[in-house]
Structure 1
Amino acid sequence: MEEKKVTRVAAVGDIHVKETDKGKWVEYFKEVSDRADVLIICGDLTDTGDEDEAQILANELRACSIPVICVLGNHDYEKGRHKLIRQAIQSHNVHVLDGEAIVIGGVGFAGVKGFGGGFDRYLLTMFGEDANKAYVQEAVDEALHLERALNKLDGEHEVDKKIAILHYSPIKATVIGEPEEIFPFLGSSRLAEPLIRNNVIAAFHGHAHAGTLEGRINNSNIKVFNVAKPVLIKAGYDFPFYILEV
């Protein structure tokens, strides 16, 4: 009987690399490389959304000998230089996803930034002022991008093991710990719907620095992990990255 291959997926978010971080991340990425087969970074790659910070990260990532898959976060959009950030970081070994999918080690990864809007019965609806409708539309669009990316894993790649990479949370459970007043800005239940329809095995996100490490989408076996670096540090990880064996 053929033994099933196990892929060790390391995940972290909200690393907030600064221009002063030269050399800071080398040992971290070497450690990840020793302990995992692929690294996920769930957004907020940079601290202020500057391409110079992205270039520092790109240089640090040379110490990573395993494939890296990223999505951007709200900090990476702060100065409107997100395209330059993506360009600086993307390489043959580093893949920045924005509605795309990739297969590594027999596991399919689909990634988007996501957006806010709230959860469950408190989900913001498309009603009222144009500004409010635009906010909701952004969340809808991100959910559609995620759906299309996951669909590619069924169509083009045909993989059974699917993982979603986000910056914003698809469930309330993993943002608990943050003030309830800001829950609508930390994620959206709209992001959970594509995960359920496409039978992902897990989803990773960041953004909620004071949130909860692990949750589950209601009435499903889909695990959701908040791997924001501060959450992992609070949970006692010496090297703040979470490993899931797939």
Structure 2
Amino acid sequence: GIAGSKGFGGGFAGVSGSDFGEPEMKAFIRHTKALAGRLETCLHGLDADVRIALLHYSPVPETLRGEPLEIYPFLGSYLLAEAIDRAGADLALHGHAHRGSEQGVTAGGVQVRNVSQPVIGRAYALFCFDGDGPPGPTVG
């Protein structure tokens, strides 16, 4: 099954925004928290052998490597990764970071793939789940 959300920004553990201070900053982070919460709820609700989180924004900084560090907070949030780990997804896919890197992993061990076309160099990628390790791409 697939659960999707655009996700949102906010940054990553140790270098992230928080929901205190100015009203605009509170709203920015609260929006990310709300979307992460809904993603977690939807992933938990899937009754499927394989669960995939489909996002626009990145849940991990590893797939942003190649982007300017200064814009990481606007490309993703660790709150998405926490939701994915708590829900137990098998794979997370995202785009948005066109100068990023293809592979990452959440703290809980979920494989994350940046599938933006400039990163993967093709129109799509197929991921095979064979039960013998992390999902692997098949060139498409």
TM-score scaled by length of structure 1:
0.51
Tell me whether 1:132 sits opposite 2:20 in the alignment.
no
Tell me whether 1:187 sits opposite 2:80 in the alignment.
no
Give the match for residue 204 of structure 1: 93
Q: Which amino acid aligns with 2:37?
A: L
Q: Which amino acid aligns with 2:54?
A: I
Show CA shifts across 1:25-52 (max 9, x none): xxxxxxxxxxxxxxxxxxxxxxxxxxxx
TM superposition shift of 1:123? 1.8
TM superposition shift of 1:200? 0.7
Aligned length: 129
What are the ranges of 5 or more consecutive residues in structure 1 without an aligned counterpart? 1-107, 234-238
Give the match for residue 49 of structure 2: 160
Give the match for residue 245 of structure 1: 128
Q: Using the alignment, how far apart are the partners of 1:211 and 1:126 within structure 2? A: 27
Tell me whether 1:111 sits opposite 2:13 in the alignment.
no
SS at match of 1:128: coil
Give the match for residue 215 of structure 1: 104
Bigger Rg, structure 1 or 2: 1
Q: Using the alignment, how far apart are the partners of 2:49 and 2:20 within structure 1? A: 38
TM superposition shift of 1:173? 0.3
Q: Which amino acid aligns with 1:131?
A: E
Show CA shifts across 1:34-75 (max 9, x none): xxxxxxxxxxxxxxxxxxxxxxxxxxxxxxxxxxxxxxxxxx
Give the match for residue 3 of structure 1: none
Give the match for residue 41 of structure 2: 148
* Partner residue of 2:113 out of 200, 212, 225: 225
Q: Using the alignment, how far apart are the partners of 1:119 and 1:188 within structure 2? A: 5
Q: Using the alignment, how far apart are the partners of 1:167 and 1:215 within structure 2? A: 15
- Contact 1:201–1:221 (8 Å) recurs in 2: no
Task: Give every structure 1 segment of 4 or more consecutive aligned residues whose post-TM-superposition deviation is greater than 4 Å.
Answer: none
Q: Using the alignment, how far apart are the partners of 1:189 and 1:230 within structure 2? A: 23
TM superposition shift of 1:222? 0.8
TM superposition shift of 1:182? 0.2
Q: Which amino acid aligns with 1:139?
A: T
Greater Cα offset, 200-209 or 190-199: 190-199
Q: Identity, % of aligned pairs?
A: 43
TM superposition shift of 1:160? 3.1
